Each structure stands twice: as C-alpha cells, then as structure tokens.
Structure 1
C-alpha cells in the first residue's frame, strides 16, 4: 500500500516538474516565437470561418450552430489579443511582428460584418467606438425634436397614406437642417418619405421601375427605423404622430405582405444599429474613408504577399504572415461586397438619386441602382416561427454539454421539458390572420374574448381567457388546441393558423418569457409547474394517442384538481362538443390565436426585443414594432370594455 502511495507521489512530482519545465521553455524567446507562429494558423482559420458563417446566427435556429459560432467568435478575440501581447512582449525584434500586429489591429478595428454577440458585448465595443454613440444619439435627438412638430407641417385632412402625401418623415439628411440650434427645417438636402413618393424619376415611378413600391419601401423602412430607435433613447412621439402611423397601417392597400416586408427591413436596420458598424460607415462621407481603407489594405496585402514569396524570403514566418494577410484581406473584401449590397447602401443611393437630376436622366445609373436595390444577398431573418409542444416535449431532459453555453448566456436557458419542435414557415395565412386582427383594433386590445364573441361562443369559452395570468391562458389553450389537432385534424387554412400560432406562443412561454406580458419569473414558474404536472400525469404514455386519451380522461374527471393541464383538458372537451363541425372549431381557434398574438405584442421592454434580434429575431418583435408605431397598448383584461368589430377576418 505504501509502495502504491509512493509511486503516485513520484508520478505527481514528475508531472509537476515536466509542467514547470514546459512553462519555462514557453517563456524563452524560442518558446514565445513558437507560440506566436502556432496561434497564427487558428486565428486565420477562425477569421475565415466567421467570414463564411458569422451571419447565419440570425438566419438559422440550429442550437449547435449557435454554440459553434459563439465559441469561434469568443476564441478568436482571445487568441488575437493574446498573440498581440506575445508579439509586444518578446525580448527580441522581428520585423514581421510589426506587420502582423498592424493587420490584426486593422481587423479588430474595422471589421463591420462581424457583429457583437449580445447587447452586453455591444456595450463593450461601443466604449471604443465613441463616434457611434455621438452620431446615433445626436441623430436621434434631431429626429425626436423634428417629429414633435412634424404633424403640424401638413393638413391632417389632406393626408394620403397611399401616396404618402403629408408624411414628411425624414429618410436622410437631417443633420443638414440643424442650423445654430434652430429646429430641423426641410431643405433640398433632406429627403423625406413624401419626397420619395413624389419623385418623378423613372426608377421610383409607380408606372415605371417601382410598380411594387419595393424600392421606395426600403427608404420608408429606414425612416420608420429612426422612429422606433427613439424608444431606446427615452424619447417619445406625440399622439398625432402615432395617429398618422396608425392611419398608414390601417389603409395599407397592398395588404399584410407589404406591411411585414417594411417591418422586416426596419428591424434589419435596428439590428445593424446595435450589432454592426454600418451606422458609422454610412454617415455622410464616412463610406469614402472605408473604401479608401479597403483599397489600401488590398494593395498593401498584395505587395506584402508578393514580397514574402520572393526566393530569399521563403520561411515559416513569412508563410504564416502571408496567411494572416490573406485571411484579413478576404474578410475585408467580403465585408465590402456585403456592404455595397446592404440596405444602408441602397438608402444612400436612392436618396442620392432623388437629389440629383442628372442621375434621374441617366439610364445607365438607374439600371445600376435598380440592380443593386433589387438584389438581396441574405434574407433579413429566418422567416420561420419556432415551435414547442408541451405534450411532446414534457419528458425531455437536456444533455450535459448544452448546459455550458446556456450558463454562459449565449443560448436560451436549458431546463427539463424544453425541447423545440421543428420550426414552421411563416406562411401567408398566418400573416394575413394576424394582420387582420391588428387592423380590427378600435381602441382596446383583448386577449381572445372579442373573437369568441364574434363566433358566439364567448358564453361557454371565455372563462379560459380569464385565468390568473396570460401564461396560464396560453398554456391552457395550447393544450386544448393540441387535443383538437389530434381529434379533428383537417386540411384547412384555419387549422394551419391555429396550430402554428399555438405552438409559437407556447415556444415563447418556454424560451422567451421576456417577450410576453407576465413577469418572466412568474412565467418560468408556471411553465416548470406545468412540466412537473405533465410528467406525473402522462407517465408511462409512450405514444401521442395514449397521451391524448389520458388527457381526455383527466378532463372528464370530477375532482378538485386545479392545474393548467386540467383547464386545458376541460377546454379541449368543450371544443370537441362541436366535433360534427370541425371547420367551425378551427375557425374559432384560428381567430382566437390571431387575436392573442396581437394582444401579447405590446411591450415596454424594448431591450428584450433588441437582444432577440441578435439570434434571429421573433415574429412577435415584428408585431411589437407595428403596435409601437401605432402606440397600441395593452390594458388589464379585467378592466377591458367590450371591443366591437364588424366581422371576423375569415369572413
């Protein structure tokens, strides 16, 4: 026994001795040089990897992809910083170090398509990008002061939301109208939404190159983004401004597709303002400096690489330096390409087109601008609704490896019962249903009771809209919808709308409680209790059929059980009483879920929506932007008066 302990002691001592010896070798000039050259390869690889896949995190909901990108994003920063420190701390001089340091610093300071990973991360780099803060805050202040009196510049009786007459919202050039502290005045240099629609140039003409209004809508989205940004700087709009915006939304003649397209681009601009450097680059004159920087970087890289490959310079150090330069140059060239086709560049070109008569008369220029503006290299977001089903996922236990990035805060917190279902495409039927429900708003939002009254079932079903919290309402109706999905499955647009929205709102409960009306802690508590109750009730049920039968028995049982699962099962039984008319069941459910979707959209937590933009955004954020423009707020359910609407959206 003593011999065994002695051998273990010797082994530990040997390990410590070897580790000490390795540490001393790493501190020698040769060791430091070896570390520098060893880290250069991984740095170049990570830069190229982020260049190729970095933008996918807001367009793909794959958890593994998010973890890998987070690891690459975090590791690249540490490796670059550590390598720079090693090069500065070496006791010897190497002319290649200065070159490597220069290009690594250029990458850290100028890359613009590598966005920060979160708002907390964003706040760190903004400490260094002080000009971004000054520009953003200054521009926002100008916009706020201008919008406080914008409604007075037009006759309220002569507003035309179709031709945008009277909508003098600023697109670009507001800094030119601020003279000696005087209020913003509309000058020739300032491009407004009204000017955009009044432009006689063929490219922007409704009878010419912009029949679908997609080009003008790019600038409309940019203007609306500036208004939405006011919320993040504690500014507000007057009621008259909200009324004008609500009139535009309600009178949208091209329907829901255009409305969501405009909001989609608006949130894309908002994302860029928080997570990229586009707002700095596309300030007046700054893009020229960016072009000059990229040109010098490209030329300098080519010269250096050619020099490195001369016969008398061929060695490992020169090859690694060439690798760094190639990676940095590729990154910058790709970023410049993406920047040239970005929505920011399109706004700049369209505004220049309006200001310049010679551009309007040139066929070559209008063809070039039209080509750039109608080219979309990457879609703004995933365009899918994430899904979650309690009856399928209640027994899920997450693997241990996924808890590490979850604890770090880079993916959603992992708990038992939290397993997403495959995402559903954001279909036209869903957008139409929700947008029609929004347009039906006449003063007070309700959490589904209005649709129940219209379908004349409020007397027997409205109790399920008056549960203690909205989380319980969502879960109860989700369970009932799941039961109906199994028992009366039909091929119908209402079936599609109801099931997709039911699973989407359940997903928000499980994964994004901050975007819902209730306190996030209360939502998480209710969800956890529901998972525990579901596991206990459905223990041993292997198939969906068995789970549904168990729920139906539970719903019919007469006892004192008081739980969300019980309420959902009872609600499902009530809905199935109309089993002979399944189309009516799904009409009731589709209109209920569409109305509830609008009800949960208003929120004072703008930061939560901004944080979700970094991981792809949510459909509820698009609705939040719409209701924010119209200043639609949600009142307590118990205090809501009857909402009168003439007809349901499906009639």
Structure 2
C-alpha cells in the first residue's frame, strides 16, 4: 500500500509539472525572464568590456568571457523556444528584435580574443540564419501597426549587427590600408628631408587621416602614393595650425591625441607584416630622443601619448570604435532612427493582442500589464544604451580626432566657431584612464614559503599521468610546462622615478641598447660584474640578477647621511620594482621576452627547484640570507650564480652606490628585452590590462628600434 501511495504521489507530481510546462502563462514568463537576463547581461558587458583593458584581474576577464558567451547561447535558445512553442504572442517579435539588437548593440567588445576577429564569415552566416529565424516569428504578427514599426526597427538592427561583423573584418583583413601606409612611409623615407624639427614636428608627415584620399601607382615599384588633397591630414599640418584653439592648452591636448592616432597607424602596420621603412632614419631617432623625451618635464607626456596610442590599438582590434570612426554618418543616422522608432514600437506594443494556441481551438489570454511594462523597459533600455554609446564615442579620443581633422580641413576655407567651441568642450571632458598604471611583481625568494606550488604541481602532474598521459615522455608533453600554479605578488604603481630612470638609461644609450653592460661601464664596475651579463640566454641573466637583487634586499642595510638615504630609497625602489617586474615577465608573460617562452618556462622551473633545495626549511629573511651567504661557488647553477653575484654586490661598501648599480642595470635590461617581433603577443596582452613593457616596445618602435642590438651585449 505504501509503495502504491508513493507511485501515485510521484505520478501526481509529474502531472503537475507537465501541466505547468503546458501553461501558456508560464511559457511567456519564461521568455520574459530570459529577455530581462539578456538585457542585464548587455549592460554588464557594455561596462566591463572596456574595463578589462584597465584591469589585470582574472575575475573580471572570466566574467567578461562568461557574459560574452552566454549572450549568444541565450539568444539561440530563446529564439528557438519562441519559434517552436505552441503558444504564440504578439510580443514575441518585439522580444526577438530586442534579442537581435543585443548581439550588435554594445560597442565596447566585438571580440574577446584576437582570433575571434577571424571568425567573421561564421558570424556573417549566423547573422543570416538569425535573420531567417526572427523573420519566421514575424509571421505570427496579427497587428498591422505593430508589424510595421517592429519591421522598421528590425531593419535598423540588422545593419547594427553587420557593423559588428565589419569591425571584425576591419581588424583581421585591413592589410590594404596598412599597405598604403607602408608605401607612403617608404616614399617618405626615400625623400628623407634634411630639414626637420622633432619639437615642432616640422617635416614629420605622419598621416592622421587619409579617408577618401586620391591614390596613384607609379613604375617601376608601383608603390601607392597619395595625391595631396584636403582629405589628407598629417601631424605637421595639425601642429602648425596657428588659430586660437590650437595655441591653447586644449589645443595642445588635441595635438597629442592626434599624434597618438598617427602613431597607432604606424604600430598597426607591424601587425599586418609590413616593415618600418623609417626605422633607420636619424629623423625617426630624433623624434623620440630630441622630441618626446627632450626634457624631464616631457617624460610623463611621452608615456601619455604612448598610452593613448595603445588605447587606439586596443579599440581597433576588440571594439566597434574603428568602424564607427570610418562610418560616422551612418552610425549617427542609425542611432537617431533607432531611438526615434522606439517610442513608435512602444505605442504599438500597448495595443498588442493576447496569447493564443496555434491549434484549431484558439484559446486567447489577455496580456498582463507586467508584459507591457517589461517590454517597454526592454526597448527603453536598448534606446538609452544606444544613445549613451554614441555620446561616449564623441567624448572618446576617436571622436576628438575626427572633429580635429574636420576642423583643420575647414580652416583652409572658413573659421568654424561652432566646431571650435565643441572641441574646446570635449577637451575638458576626461573619461576614465586609458590603462592601469601598474606593473606585476614576482619574487623568487618570497614565492615558495613551504613550497606549496611545487607540491601541488607534482601532485597534479602525477594524477594527470595516470588519467591522461600514460606515456608522457613518448608524447613529449610536460605538465610542469603547461601549468602555472604560481601566484604573482601585488601589482605596484609605475611611479615617476621608475619612468625617469628608464628614460635616462634610454637617452644614455642613444638607441644602442645593452643588457646591462653599459650601466656597469658608466659606474666603473665592468670587471667584477660583467660575467653576470654574459650568459647563455637573457632568461639566465634576468634570473641571476633577480636573485642577486633579492639577496641585497635581505642583506643588513648600511645607511648614513640624510642625503644619501634619499638617494638610496630612490635607487632601491627602482631596482626592486623593475627586478620583480622582469621576474614576473619570465614567470607569467614569457612570450614578450626575447627567448622562446617554453625555454623560459623550463629554465625557471629548474631554478625554482634549486631554490627549494637550499631554502626548503628556511622561513625568515635572515635565515635565507645566511644560507645564501654560506653557499659555495663550485656549482654552475643559476641560483648559486645569483647568490655569488649578490655577495659581490654586497662588497660594494657604498650602500647608495650599490643600489645605483642595481637600479641602472634593471633600467637597461627592461629596455633591452622590450624590442620584439611578437606584435600579436603585445596586442593580446592589452585585453589583460596591458603590460608596461608594451609601452616601452611601442616607444622604441617609434624611435626606430625594432630589434635588439645583439652586438652590444658582449661588449
């Protein structure tokens, strides 16, 4: 009897669930819940999409990825649910158009990773299929007024999605415009005007805008050449505008933004595989050394110019701002039409019919007030976000560049007071900062207290071998290389003293970069320390000097005199921040360093084991210092070499001079490892909050330094 009662209760529960699932009201509520979720996700990704370039937080990056993926999945499921459901509703087409608008509405992210841009053909096919799915839902519209208004809004929404796809095409296939720029710069390099001024930028014809320019090709090389028209705007033209606006402080900021935009085009050219023809020119060298970095007061400005340039680079590859820039009028008209149509659709929604079953016996259920409210809020949210994003575009650097180019072009014909006032207003509006002004930190001596990372790694590798890799050696796979369970230290600010030390080192090198040997020459200490710069790879050199720097950090201090103490603190701060940042690059971002990233990973894994063997049971800094001080010098391991170098540095009795030597070394080393052909790697790191080494990479590129001066490391 009890068994029969249990079965009956189970059957009753099943029947209740089936009846609820067949309930027309419950089905509509389910769709409404998905509509609200989709709109909420849209607002989240609109905010977080641009924020990810200002934060290296893994949590934010994971959240953006989850929302970016869920939006497509929810759209596909909901459209299929509405189309296949036996319950139809006049509000379904409105919700379907809203879902469709979500896919192309946000400007802050069009691609999560660089490879997503190559999937534009897949997105194009999806757009066609989605168009067909939504069109089928339109067949159930019974209200002519609603059908007309929703169809018009749907047409505008289709083009918005097309613009999103076009942004991906622009980011992955715009080699032609880069080719035009490469040919133009080659022509400029061949001309190589002898008269130029890197301060006033006279003679620097870097292109800012060439949309609609006339182009010709001439034998024998058939390079593309621009014919001078009002559509071609160069940095020299903008810098030499002598009107009231351009002479003001606001005009100076506009000039710097336009300079960043011109440099962004030069940097983008490298991504598409075109060479920097101007890199060998003295004119290019002087642009940085005698221009942007002419005085100490200009150092911060130089880094601001580079940061804005990298913002343009990020926006080009991961957002819709570039396609909005090139299609400004269409973007403006589409937004106005979309916002204008929204009240019309809302008015039609208030007269929508009820719910009905698609069967011979129609059962009509009137729409609830909640359905109308949710639909109105949905449409109003989309219109508000549309208008807000258009305003943000004009307040962004893209809008400032566009208006500045128009203003400069019109100055040749008339003085536009309205545009002058608008530009002056835009210069006063400052949005959030372009990038986080921080660098990652990692200390080998502080990272393995009790060595939990190595234990966890060994445990995972052992179980991985059992479950997945029965013959790991035969497959040629090392789980130790694939995994990175290490934890970085707290990121620190890149203060003015760090930037000043790096710039002074760059100017002292005059473009002939060194891996630290030149700093030893300047300090008169080549003989005792040069061996530590002549290592097999730059990873060896970085780790040896990092261990030595950590040794000096835990060694007993010897401060004397207030003036010396200030100098010591400055040199100590610069040395420790750059040392830990270079170690951070080896451990977490080895692809941006000269050596192959897997070589760097393998080397560091072995060095970590060496450190663990010597310091396994040591907990205090004083204990670590004693162990390292008592190490012999017979073994040729990196850790032993680092301890040896640390003891040699400790013998420099002048405490201030000791830290000056270390700070000067790291200021040179960070510059030496910055030049790279891995353009893709630098662009991909922009979505992780950016790296300071990327700023140095861009700065050196515009100084004509595109590769390491390999001959200098063995001086």
TM-score greater than 0.5 by the shorter chain: yes
State the distance in 1 between where 2:206 and 2:78 align.
48
Structure 1 residue 37: deviation in Å?
2.8
SS of residue in 2 equivalent to 1:423:
strand
Residue number in structure 2 paired with 1:264 = 307
Q: Secondary structure at the match of 1:178?
A: strand
Alignment match, 2:546: 478
Asked if the contact 1:388–1:506 (Cα under 8 Å) also holds between the matched residues in 2, the reply is yes
CA 1:24–1:531: 2 relative to 1, 3 Å: farther
1:513, distance to aligned residue in structure 2 (A): 0.5
Q: How does 1:389-538 map to 2 (within 5 A)?
A: 389-395=443-449, 397=452, 415-416=484-485, 418-442=486-510, 444-487=512-555, 488=557, 491=566, 492-538=569-615
User: What residue is the counterpart of 2:138 in the other structure?
Assistant: none
Larger Rg: 2
Question: Is the Cα contact below 8 Å between 1:497 and 1:590 reproduced in 2?
Answer: yes
Q: 1:144 & 1:632 partners in 2: Cα distance? A: 17
Q: What residue number does 2:201 align with?
A: 164
The residue aligned with 2:169 is 133
Q: Measured at CA, do residues 302 and 537 of structure 1 come closer, stay the same or move farther in structure 2, by a change above 3 Å?
A: farther
CA distance in 2, matches of 1:549, 1:15: 73
Residue aligning to 1:298: 339
Residue 202 (structure 1) aligned to one of 244, 251, 255: 244
Q: How far apart are residue 369 of structure 1 and its match?
A: 0.5
Distance 1:551-1:18 versus aligned 2 partners, 3 A rule: farther
Q: Does 1:351 align with 2:405?
A: yes
Of stretches 76-85 and 302-311 in structure 1, the one that deviates more from structure 2 is 302-311
Who is 1:278 aligned against? 321
Given that residues 47 and 327 in structure 1 are in contact (C-alpha distance below 8 angstroms), is that contact kept between their aligned partners in structure 2? no
Q: How does 1:103-182 map to 2 (within 5 A)?
A: 103-125=98-120, 128=124, 129-130=165-166, 133=169, 136-152=174-190, 155-156=193-194, 158-178=195-215
What is aligned with 1:325? 379
For residue 251 of structure 1, give the secondary structure of its aligned residue in structure 2: helix
Match of 2:619 in 1: 542
Q: Which digits, 9 at most, give the CA deviation of each residue in 1:451-488, with x for residues without a partner?
A: 01111111111111122221121111111112222333
Cα distance, 1:320–1:45 mapped onto 2, change above 3 Å: same
CA contact (8 A) 1:201 1:360 kept: no
Question: Which stretch shifts more, 134-143 or 213-222?
Answer: 134-143
Bigger shift: residues 511-520 or 298-307: 298-307
Question: Which whole-Å CA distance do the structure 2 matches of 1:250 and 1:592 have between them?
Answer: 20
Is residue 384 of structure 2 the alignment partner of residue 336 of structure 1? no
Distance in 2 (CA, whole Å) between partners of 1:634 and 1:16 is 74
User: What corresponds to 1:605 in structure 2?
Assistant: 678
Structure 1: distance between partners of 2:392 and 2:117: 21
Q: Take 1:72 and 1:588, find their aligned partners in 2: how far apart are those partners?
A: 49
Root-mean-square deviation (CA, aligned residues, Å) is 3.4
- For these two proteins, the number of residue pairs brought into alignment is 611
Task: Provide the residue aligned with 2:478 in structure 1.
Answer: none
Deviation string for 1:374-415 (max 9, x for gaps)?
Answer: 422021110111111111112465799xx9xxxxxxxx9862
Matched, 1:220 2:259: yes
The answer to whether the 8 A contact 2:512-2:712 is kept is no
What is the CA–CA distance in structure 2 between the aligned matches of 1:274 and 1:481, rounded to whole Å? Answer: 39
Counterpart CA distance in 1 for 2:181 and 2:13 is 65
Contact 2:633 2:640 in 1 (8 A): no
Residue pairs, 1:18-97, within 5 angstroms: 33=28, 35-97=30-92
CA contact under 8 A between 2:279 and 2:704: conserved in structure 1?
A: no
Is the CA contact 1:172–1:190 (under 8 Å) kept in the aligned structure 2? yes
The verdict on how the C-alpha distance between 1:373 and 1:463 changes in structure 2, with shifts beyond 3 A counting, is same
Rounded to whole Å, the distance in 1 between the matches of 2:280 and 2:10 is: 72
Show CA shifts across 1:30-62 (max 9, x none): 775454233223222222222333322111223
Deviations 1:349-369 (A, max 9, x none): 111111113997455532320
Q: CA deviation at 1:323?
A: 3.9
Task: Find the aligned partners of 1:58 and 1:430 in 2 and give their Cα distance.
Answer: 22
Q: Is the 8 A contact 1:215 1:374 kept in 2?
A: no
Structure 1 pair 25–415 and aligned structure 2 pair: CA distance change class (3 A) = farther
Moved more, 65-74 or 230-239: 65-74
Distance in 2 (alpha carbons) for counterparts of 1:278 and 1:19: 52
Q: 1:20 & 1:266 partners in 2: Cα distance?
A: 63
Deviations 1:484-513 (A, max 9, x none): 223338542211211111111111111100
**Aligned residue number for residue 423 of structure 2:** 369
Cα distance between partner residues in 1 of 2:422 and 2:196: 33
Query: Does the 8 A contact of 1:413 with 1:511 survive in 2?
Result: no
Question: Residues 444 and 640 of structure 1 are in contact (CA less than 8 Å); yes or no, is this contact kept in structure 2?
Answer: no
Contact 2:182 2:277 (8 Å CA) reproduced: no
Q: Determine the structure 2 residue equivalent to 1:648.
A: none
- Structure 2 gaps of 5+ residues are 125-164, 219-223, 353-365, 461-480, 560-564
Normalized against structure 2, the TM-score is what? Answer: 0.78
